A and B are shown apart, each in its own frame.
Chain A
Amino acid sequence: GAGVSQSPSNKVTEKGKDVELRCDPISGHTALYWYRQRLGQGLEFLIYFQGNSAPDKSGLPSDRFSAERTGESVSTLTIQRTQQEDSAVYLCASREAVEQFFGPGTRLTVL
């Protein structure tokens, strides 16, 4: 069956540009997470969506980061005015019960 998909798989951008990352969760999963993983490090929680409830944005590192999700479908993570420190793999996961299912991630490189 279809898992979590993310696009693009790789994104190279210049410092100061905006980028938009996309996550397609598993159909029917009400919970969706975004994480950031820098090279050789653990996962850093960014934001969490649960159904139509207000998202938990407590992990967003700055106001340059924002995310949206329409209902229980696609989510987009937007990073404005990218900085070199934003370079990382951005992972999306969806969850229905106890298990988070992760996508392959988007590798963002800011030059």
Chain B
Amino acid sequence: LAKTTQPISMDSYEGQEVNITCSHNNIATNDYITWYQQFPSQGPRFIIQGYKTKVTNEVASLFIPADRKSSTLSLPRVSLSDTAVYYCLVGDLASYGQNFVFGPGTRLSVLP
């Protein structure tokens, strides 16, 4: 089970690009990297998932280096509404249960 390490908190200002890095040194060959976002009083929601290199969707980009021991979630031009907790998960899509374990996440505060 790959363990992840993220910064506990980050501050940013509106309009800036925010990069949150997650370390997963013992990621396994079959593991994918998934990021979730959680607003207060809500359940987490899926943002993006990748295996290697770069993935981009309408919300964010995910950068994964060749060794896959870390990944970086990039949020372009954040707004106040991006204030949330961001979770990095590493797991094997073919397996179940505790392969998808949420750590404490990164609390992002976007300031005006």
Contact = CB atoms under 8 A, between A and B. Distances in A.
Contact of A45 (B45, B46, B101, B104): B101
Contact residues of B: prevailing secondary structure: loop
A99 B102 contact: no
Given A42-B105, A43-B102, A104-B43, A98 B97 contact: no
Name the interface size band of chain B. 20 to 34
Nearest to A50: B96
Interface of A: 4, 31, 33, 35, 41-45, 48, 50, 56, 58-59, 91, 93, 98-105
A13 B32 CA distance: 40
A52 B45 CA distance: 26
B81 interface: no
B104 A42 contact: yes
Contacts of B102: 35, 42-45
Contacts of A42: 85, 87, 102-105
Contact of B96 (A31, A98, A101, A103): A31
Contacts of B32: 98
Name which of B43, B87, B104 has the most chain A CB atoms within 10 A of its CB: B43
B64 to A, nearest CB: 15
B3 to A, nearest CB: 13
